[in-house]
Amino acid sequence: MPGIHSNTFAALLLLAAPNFGDVGVIIISSAITYTVVNIIPATFLGVPDEDTALSVLPSHKMVLEGRGFEVITISALASFLSIVISLPLYLTIHSIAHNYSLLRFLTPYVLIFIAFFLIFSEKGEPFAGRYSAWLKRTYALLIFLISGFLGYVALKNSQLFEIHPAGSVLLPLLTGLFATPVLVFSSSNPVPEQKKMLKIPDLDSVTKGTLAGFFVSLFPGISSGVATVVSTLGEKKEERYISAISAANSANAILCLFFYIVTNRTRSGAADALKKLHYYPEVLNIIVLAIISAFAALLVTIAFGYLLSEKISKFKAGKLSLAVLGFLIILIGYLTGPFGLILFFAASFIGILAVRLKVKRVNCMGCLMLPVIIYYLTHT
């Protein structure tokens, strides 16, 4: 379902907890599964969450070349491999946890460094003159600051948006910043026939993405998309880019669970739901659940990806994009109410502005990074 994050599903499960058996197992399994399967809407519908937002443009380019099924196989395999590669990193997280006070002290400064890194990674337009790069960096700084201001105001007033137990301020905020621009600007693109070719991800890119996911799990406010920009800066190949961000996404999911059981601090919606349930799984349980869930999700994703790649060219892209956008607006209105809709439209304006100014939309992650920087600097 486009627009419905695993965090939303975890919140719904909390309501239904008395009617299920081991809800903790379901939450862990769904969180891992989601990171594998979410490439499907990100590819064919263009509706990402904060973790897959950067993969949208590369994957859409490949879809328009008739290589949508390659995107699905690259991403699904990269996600599965990253889960396996991430398992030994539990020992590293366990070691770092003993120095959590140092980690907390470093957090705002790491975020500030990354913000400047993202902004200064902007490059000027070809043949646009010597000041073109500085103009783009100014635009990137503008997007970072206004999205940060919007995120700060929204998070400070999160109670206005949580009218439903599954409602979250992040739903309208991130949907507007990342999903709306893709739906608006891709609505006129026809979808060609898709080839049915399997593609193996680049192992080097998977490893880089996994390390990016590890980095993300340590610091709040940094999405796996942000970390992947750092690890793939200058990367030209779409396949390697998708491999890296898919690996970062899945690695982040399991490493956030490791971080939770070691420190009792949450870095994801799934971990937060487990904490509310007072559910503290053993590390071996997480490992077994992650491997089983990731492998099952791999098979399901490839099967559904094959089916969709056969059918997608028969749909009219414009009508499909408008239908998805309409669904998201209804979902936001139901889960977050009128204030959620206001936030959604404000965030959509910023997301569209970033596209118009031709800067990386990852700068919109200022919506989370800036509030976290302010919080840590004022609560030390």
> pLDDT of 266-301, one tens digit each?
888 888 888 888 889 999 999 999 999 999 999 999
User: CA 105 → CA 99, 224, 367, distances in Å?
Assistant: 10, 21, 21
Quick: pLDDT tens for 135-174. Answer: 999 999 999 999 999 999 999 998 998 887 767 888 899 8
Phi and psi of 273, rounded to 5°?
A: -65, -40
Collect all residues with Cβ–Cβ distance below 8 Å to 341 and sequence separation of at least 6.
172, 329, 332, 333
Most confidently predicted of 95-104, 125-134, 196-205: 196-205
The mean pLDDT of 202-211, rounded to a whole number, is 90
Query: Average per-residue pLDDT in the chain?
Result: 85
- Across the range 61-74, mean pLDDT stands at 88
What radius of gyration do the chain's Cα atoms show?
Answer: 20
Under a CB-based contact definition with an 8 Å cutoff, are residues 197 and 70 in contact? yes
